Structure 1
């Protein structure tokens, strides 16, 4: 194991084991160049300068959400169908579209995997997959091709944070001739602020899990202000270059990892860089050194 007991006291290792057990996360030993999640987490805790910061991180990690795709997909689609029974009865074809970044259309994102999973056997429990045509369109060009047939377009993603990417996608779809009144969105997990932004725009959003801000919404004002300053200090110590991400993108204060870790999550969990010339591993990294070249 990578744990340095001179830095990380036993009480923190014990508490981390309890958290892993609570979340049903596997505790394994690192093997050569393969690092276990538990060891990477311990290493990241070691990199903090004081026990007060370690205590805050462990306190927050109790509420960390790691993906459970099958369960969430079934839950959220059931919710969508319950709210749209009459609409679904009327239409012959259900159209789905993976949420895409309007600035990088065509780039593979988690929405593409979500659309693929909608073809899985565990989704066949719904009768709508038996007697309806479910057409997955994956490009904006395809939306233009089928726009005369689209009576309801469901935008699919695994996570919505601030709502910026989803709103941008909706705007581009509107430019292709689809009215927002027939657009709906399904996501597994959403930040409360993101859901409010999408629904304020006039698009229904369905989600299995709604997440609030991890600190601001869970502590009294005085305690929250102290913990916010403490978390900003942690991000600074980890050499997070972009100060606007100290509390996650748009100060989302997220505690979420899906297929990837969104930048809405506190950088402690995903940021990797160098400190004193040494590479710092994160438990749920999101560096772009692994990806598809165009």
Structure 2
């Protein structure tokens, strides 16, 4: 028997794309819309309703959003710190590792012409590095300058704190270090701020508990998500995202903090937001 989406559910899927202004491409079989449609076809009506409910809460930031978010957080930082010279490095867990990371993209966006069109930040001086030399460390400590560790997303906050520790061991004074992110989870922001680290972000994303706080007891919702995850073929450690972060968002690459139904599954062609290695 041919599988299909409940008519009401299909209408809700169209409405999600309309409300969120997502690009709807029905003619391309691998498009986001068709991946979501094919996922929904393999679910029963109750499961379809739950998937749509979660999708309605999902935040999706594309690369076209990054410049606006970057300008927003730079303005916040500049107004608070009151300095004009900043050395930027991408947030990288292992600086001996050669993998391309999202923090590198955000660092490069600091060269964007668009930044020069904003009078609040056009006079700021940016020095961009992948890592610091001993001379760089000395300049940061001696001059009216800060070190900014930058990324597009902060989840648990652990990697950011590790990066700060690394640069402190390199000799950078802690009060000279800033973490800057386009988007953060509440838990990550709280952890970083509890360490006494200067932290600026453009958006704070709500996780499952925050999005559905009106429910009160989330145990039934989480049970339903686990059941849905099993149906889709999500790996068990991905059901509620990394360390059960239960995030509901995607950057240009979906964080593994997000619940697994959006980036994992048995049928790779149907995964809505596939995480490439």
Task: Name the TM-score, length of structure 1 as normaliser.
Answer: 0.84
Name structure 2 gaps, 5 residues minimum. Answer: none
1:199 to 187, 193, 204: 193
RMSD: 2.2
Question: Does the 8 Å CA contact 1:102/1:165 hold for their aligned counterparts?
Answer: no
Task: Describe the superposition over 1:180-225 as per-residue Cα deviations: whole angstroms up to 9, x where unpaired.
Answer: 2211111111000000011111112111110122245523465521
**Residues 107, 178 of structure 1: CA spacing in aligned structure 2 closer, same or farther, 3 A cutoff?**
farther
How many angstroms does 1:281 deviate by? 2.1
Matches within 5 A, 1:69-218: 69-85=66-82, 88=83, 93-102=85-94, 105-127=97-119, 130-139=122-131, 142-150=132-140, 151-215=145-209, 218=212
Task: Describe the superposition over 1:222-270 as per-residue Cα deviations: whole angstroms up to 9, x where unpaired.
Answer: 55211111112222223333x3321011211111111200001111111
Cα distance in 2, alignment partners of residues 129 and 191 from structure 1: 26
**Is 1:261 paired with 2:261?**
no
How many angstroms does 1:35 deviate by? 1.4
**Is 1:246 paired with 2:236?**
no
Cα distance in 1, alignment partners of residues 37 and 209 from structure 2: 22
Three-state SS of the structure 1 residue aligned to 2:213 is: coil
Task: Name the TM-score, length of structure 2 as normaliser.
Answer: 0.89
How many angstroms does 1:106 deviate by? 4.0
Three-state SS of the structure 2 residue aligned to 1:30 is: coil
**Residues 135, 148 of structure 1: CA spacing in aligned structure 2 closer, same or farther, 3 A cutoff?**
same
**Residues 104, 54 of structure 1: CA spacing in aligned structure 2 closer, same or farther, 3 A cutoff?**
farther
Deviates more, 1:18-27 or 1:223-232: 223-232
Name structure 1 gaps, 5 residues minimum. Answer: 289-294
Cα distance in 2, alignment partners of residues 10 and 143 from structure 1: 60
Which has the larger share of helix? Answer: 2
Cα distance in 1, alignment partners of residues 261 and 96 from structure 2: 27
How many angstroms does 1:287 deviate by? 3.1
Aligned pair count reads 270
Three-state SS of the structure 1 residue aligned to 2:240 is: coil
Cα distance in 2, alignment partners of residues 269 and 82 from structure 1: 37
2:11 to 14, 25, 29: 14
